[in-house]
Amino acid sequence: MSRNGNETELVAEAERMLAELADVVDRNVLAAGVFSLAELLLAQTAGAFVGGVASDLAGGGGGDGALAAAVGSRIAVEAAAEAKGVSVRLVVAVTTSAVHVLNSERSDLPSEVARFDRASTEVTVRKMGLSRIVELLDPATGAKVSLHGSVSPISAQSKPDKLVLNLLC
């Protein structure tokens, strides 16, 4: 999986992932980006807080507190993702006919988290600073997923995420 935000590499990776799914007919990926479940943002904040407090209680300070907050944040995010049965990093692949939400880091999880028909899916995008919360909803089944992506110029994934957002909106 491309970690540097290279759109070409992300599209190629998404196409390889879709090729492994027997029931996918349209494997021509128009854009792919790296997202996460939106609810992981809360776990990230809580984990950072708990890690920082634990460091303070243990007598750490300064850099120790920052490191503890970062470690707490990562542990909480991984645990929350595990509880939801998804990887922390999800690839959102947009084809002509569908939007695929794919697990990207773990081979022990199903490859596909969700699939939405592009023609009928309702897409809502909310701004949260330099992040975007994207909700995909299938009105016929009620299936939905809320994702978090970045449009920050300093984020490696912002350019691919912006391409996905442009196709969805």
What are the pLDDT digits (tens) for 41-76? 554 444 443 444 444 445 555 555 555 455 555 666
pTM over 0.95: no
Residues with Cβ within 8 Å of residue 62, at least 6 apart in sequence: none
